[in-house]
Structure 1
Amino acid sequence: MPHALYTLLLYLALPFVPLKLLWRGIKQPEYLQHWAERFGFYSTQSRKPIIWIHCVSVGETRAAAPLVNILLTQYPQYQLLLTHTTPTGRATSEQLFGDHILRVYLPYDVPFAVNRFVKHFKPKLGLIMETELWFNLIDACDRHQVPQLLLNARLSEKSAKGYVQLGRLVQNGLSKFALIAAQSNEDEARFKLLGAPHTMVAGNLKFDVTAPAESEVLGQQLRALFGNTRTVFVAASTREGEEPLILDAIANLPLLTVIVPRHPQRFDEVEQLLKSRHIPYIRRSQLTTTLTEDIQVVLGDSMGELYTYYAASDFAFIGGSLLKYGGQNLIEAASMGKPILIGKYTYNFAEATKGAVQSGAATQVRDVDNLRAKIQFLIDNPSKREKMGLAALDFSKASTGTTVRMMHLIGQYLQSTDTST
């Protein structure tokens, strides 16, 4: 695809953007805020030179946390700017970093908007988390001599096939990154096949994310509300269509299930599902006293408590993997020492899933019947749960160190930009 055609298609779509924001705002009112930023108009200012980090949503923001915290400590002469695409990503940034950083929405990838962004903030360095390829933004940074590093980069086989269809547009864009630091050898190989000239394997930052210090204590408190004698199963980060399958898998099993939908705008939808099936449940936000034995499901309708849910559980299922969503992050559950069940669709976390299964920390399930069988097995075998939990901790600890490698790279590029100015 020629770059000019790519830009033309974006301009043709631009008039429909307000309608999209309004539609999303019906379920999530935060989409109705800060519209000007999405078109490149900013009031936020900084007196310090800026290190810019782009984190699309919640997962990328949490993954970047170790990096952000070290940058705040080691480079106080810089101002950190985090950009996001979703309100939940922005809210997570506020929760994790407060007013220690600046945060705005990344503009849509049309030339007038991305040029305004680059000219307004004048970042000394751009750190793009995972795989966000916006070709007009990449071009604007290149023209204004802003080095761009694609960090924690991953590229599934499915995504790579899609990018291949764009031809030289992708090749030219990737060539403008100073470096692409891939999560795995497979990711690096796919980037190279697309024409990326500057690549390396640095590992997965998400292994370096640590649970909040209070997670264990809060988990114990939550477990007391659940009932200390009950087996507790967490279905974490579930996606649309998966909750009915999970309810089928747990039907009439002797356990308490906590279902935590990936997206907060789906809390009410999942509640309606529970009502339609006449399943006794309670929302986490309404849980103030110890549960009665008749409650079968807790709907996790809170933000920022996933580590607490894991701490309060005996084992976990990682959502986005029963259906073709590519899987969600199993690393958080591993870091809390929990046995992990995960479906067969894990291309978003292929390397981590492979390692977790090989280490004995995780078991993959084929379908709903297989999931039910594995849940029953873990209910009946506490010793197996303990063994898998220890393996999960070992797997998590053995995979850390990516942040240190990233900081070394960042230091080199900051030094070169300081020298050039």
Structure 2
Amino acid sequence: MLFFLIYQVIFYCIQPLIWLRLLYRSFKNSGYRKRIFERYGFCRKKVRPGGIVLHSVSVGETLAAVPLVRALKNRYPNLPITITTMTPTGSERVLSAFGKEVSHVYLPYDLWGSIRRFLNSTRPRIVIIMETELWPNLIYQLHKRKIPLIIANARLSERSYRGYSRIRPLMKPLLRQTTLLCAQHQSDAERFIDLGLRRSQITITGSIKFDISITPDLAARAVTLRRQWAPNRPIWIAASTHQGEDEIIFEAHKSLLLQFPNLLLIVVPRHPERFSKVKQLADNYSLSYITRQSGMIPEESTQVIVADTMGELLLLYGVADIAFVGGSLVEVGGHNPLEAAAHALPVIMGPHVFNFTAICKKLSSDQALLIIHDKQELVKKITNLLNDADYRRYFGRNAVEVIEKNHGALEKLLESIEPYLPQRRH
């Protein structure tokens, strides 16, 4: 209890710093200035109480949660669903995926009063947290109210485990107040157990990110867009790029244009506040570009398309021949390579893939992922893939097979959640 008291005092004391941080971030994304009261649990008129609350902190987790939410809506049509996020970008993804089918608010800061107001308003039957978001106050109050807490698609990298190990005496009681943790892999489970979770609180479901599928509608839209943009040109995509990567990508593209003058690059910055920066970089590198938002069709002289829209990454992968997945040439840890793999694309990533270690190992061991370390290697790999269509198809086919072999985690997760929800009508 002393830990919770100290934690609360510190969290309340740093609120002015948090307000300043929101203000600073709002200069790049005005969404941080909006809906401030939701961050303190004031959401009574914005949610339907008595159902499922699902929290996904980041854009990646929100995308992974989409099939889970759809499955829950199908199985429990009478239960309202509230999805919480932490960022305006995550909020936009929820609204674009579900519209008014679900309620959406920000998860409040982990303050005693804020969490109490939030739970009083939502009155959830169950709370599901995607991956690993451990908020002491939220966990404690759910446990006190006897509301089941499921941590779904849970993973714990070696790097995160080392950090949590330093506060093992604090982690143990926190973890033991969770109801069930559905781990992606055995290695994740063992790390959680070492931190104090009981084996009876863990089940291994696999990663629901493998339960990705390309709908016929999406495939048709991708084919149409490819015909509009570049029916006779090779295309590569650099997706979810971060600061420090775009420079490498543009330098590589300049080199590739010397060998493939009609090559088209689609660059998709990870964060919308960087759209203008990436456009400026394209100018700096003297690359002819258009933006996705402009609605323009690339001309023969167009060398780059800057994807400055939200929620279209899966569509844009379907337009490309080769995919580089960002956050991996800088120490961000990489982003989800399975979205590209689902389109049967050869996937390239940098060396920093600790956010997706197990997935990348599976792809690499099955010849479905190419790891590079610098611009020179990136240029070499893309050159080889562009020069050899059979080589491209080989990697793309392997990527789809990896997804098919690991499919099924979503069903296992739903079976694990089922005992904590009302009996379904068949």
TM-score by length of 2: 0.94
- How far does the alpha carbon of each residue in 1:189-223 deviate from its partner, in whole angstroms, 9 at most, with x for none? 21111111122211111111333542222212221
Q: Look up the SS of the partner of 1:44 in the other structure.
A: helix
Q: Give the corresponding residue for 2:126.
A: 125
Q: Look up the SS of the partner of 1:10 in the other structure.
A: helix
Q: Look up the SS of the partner of 1:286 in the other structure.
A: coil
- How far does the alpha carbon of each residue in 1:6-25 deviate from its partner, in whole angstroms, 9 at most, with x for none? 22221121122222222111
- Mapped to 1, the partners of 2:389 and 2:88 lie a distance apart of 40
Q: Give the corresponding residue for 2:420.
A: 413
- Mapped to 2, the partners of 1:59 and 1:39 lie a distance apart of 24
- How far does the alpha carbon of each residue in 1:151-184 deviate from its partner, in whole angstroms, 9 at most, with x for none? 0011111111111222322221111111111111
Q: Look up the SS of the partner of 2:238 in the other structure.
A: strand
| 1:367 shift after superposition | 2.1
- How far does the alpha carbon of each residue in 1:97-153 deviate from its partner, in whole angstroms, 9 at most, with x for none? 121111111000111111111122111111000111111111111111111010001
Moved more, 315-324 or 91-100: 91-100
Q: Look up the SS of the partner of 1:132 in the other structure.
A: coil
Q: Give the corresponding residue for 1:58.
A: 59
| 1:224 shift after superposition | 2.2
Moved more, 376-385 or 39-48: 39-48
Establish whether residue 282 from structure 1 lines up as the match of residue 283 from structure 2.
Answer: no
Q: Give the corresponding residue for 2:368.
A: 361
> 1:205 is aligned with what amino acid?
I
- Mapped to 2, the partners of 1:263 and 1:415 lie a distance apart of 39
Structure 1 residue ranges (4+ consecutive) displaced by more than 4 angstroms after TM superposition: 45-48
Q: Identify the match of residue 380 of structure 1 among 377, 382, 387.
A: 387
- Mapped to 2, the partners of 1:2 and 1:40 lie a distance apart of 23
> 1:258 is aligned with what amino acid?
I
| 1:47 shift after superposition | 5.8
Q: Give the corresponding residue for 1:419.
A: none
- Mapped to 1, the partners of 2:418 and 2:117 lie a distance apart of 27
Q: Give the corresponding residue for 1:143.
A: 144
Matches within 5 A, 1:169-180: 169-180=170-181
Q: Give the corresponding residue for 1:221.
A: 224
Establish whether residue 32 from structure 1 lines up as the match of residue 26 from structure 2.
Answer: no
- How far does the alpha carbon of each residue in 1:19-40 deviate from its partner, in whole angstroms, 9 at most, with x for none? 2222111111111111101011
| 1:369 shift after superposition | 1.5
Q: Are residues 8 and 218 of structure 1, via their aligned partners in 2, closer, same or farther at CA, if it must alter by over 3 Å?
A: same
Q: Look up the SS of the partner of 1:27 in the other structure.
A: coil
- Mapped to 1, the partners of 2:204 and 2:74 lie a distance apart of 25
Q: Look up the SS of the partner of 2:414 in the other structure.
A: helix
Q: Look up the SS of the partner of 1:142 in the other structure.
A: helix
| 1:3 shift after superposition | 2.8
Q: Which structure 1 segments of 5+ residues have no match?
A: 417-421
Q: Identify the match of residue 271 of structure 1 among 279, 286, 299.
A: 279
| 1:346 shift after superposition | 0.6
Q: Give the corresponding residue for 1:186.
A: 187
Q: Give the corresponding residue for 1:93.
A: 94
Matches within 5 A, 1:258-337: 258-289=266-297, 291-337=298-344
- Mapped to 2, the partners of 1:45 and 1:58 lie a distance apart of 21
| 1:5 shift after superposition | 2.4
> 1:10 is aligned with what amino acid?
F
- Mapped to 1, the partners of 2:37 and 2:157 lie a distance apart of 33
- Mapped to 2, the partners of 1:365 and 1:312 lie a distance apart of 23
Contact in 1 for aligned 2:353/2:360 (Cα 8 Å): yes
- Mapped to 1, the partners of 2:202 and 2:49 lie a distance apart of 30
Moved more, 136-145 or 212-221: 212-221
Q: Give the corresponding residue for 2:408.
A: 401
- Mapped to 2, the partners of 1:324 and 1:288 lie a distance apart of 34
> 1:405 is aligned with what amino acid?
K
> 1:262 is aligned with what amino acid?
R
Q: Look up the SS of the partner of 1:282 in the other structure.
A: strand
Q: Look up the SS of the partner of 1:155 in the other structure.
A: coil
- Mapped to 2, the partners of 1:252 and 1:240 lie a distance apart of 20
Contact in 2 for aligned 1:208/1:401 (Cα 8 Å): yes
Contact in 2 for aligned 1:65/1:209 (Cα 8 Å): no
Q: Look up the SS of the partner of 1:82 in the other structure.
A: strand
- Mapped to 1, the partners of 2:264 and 2:48 lie a distance apart of 52
- Mapped to 2, the partners of 1:273 and 1:326 lie a distance apart of 23
> 1:36 is aligned with what amino acid?
F
**What count of residue pairs does the alignment treat as equivalent?**
415
Q: Give the corresponding residue for 1:8.
A: 9
Q: Identify the match of residue 353 of structure 2 among 346, 350, 358.
A: 346
> 2:239 is aligned with what amino acid?
A
Q: Give the corresponding residue for 1:207.
A: 210
Q: Look up the SS of the partner of 2:265 in the other structure.
A: strand
- Mapped to 2, the partners of 1:30 and 1:358 lie a distance apart of 42
Establish whether residue 105 from structure 1 lines up as the match of residue 106 from structure 2.
Answer: yes
Give aligned-pair identity as a percent.
35
Contact in 1 for aligned 2:42/2:118 (Cα 8 Å): yes
Q: Which structure 2 segments of 5+ residues have no match?
A: none
Contact in 2 for aligned 1:48/1:78 (Cα 8 Å): no
- Mapped to 2, the partners of 1:273 and 1:404 lie a distance apart of 44
- Mapped to 2, the partners of 1:32 and 1:48 lie a distance apart of 26
| 1:67 shift after superposition | 1.2
- How far does the alpha carbon of each residue in 1:241-298 deviate from its partner, in whole angstroms, 9 at most, with x for none? 1100111222231221111011111100111111122211111112433x22222111
> 1:216 is aligned with what amino acid?
A
- Mapped to 2, the partners of 1:368 and 1:3 lie a distance apart of 48
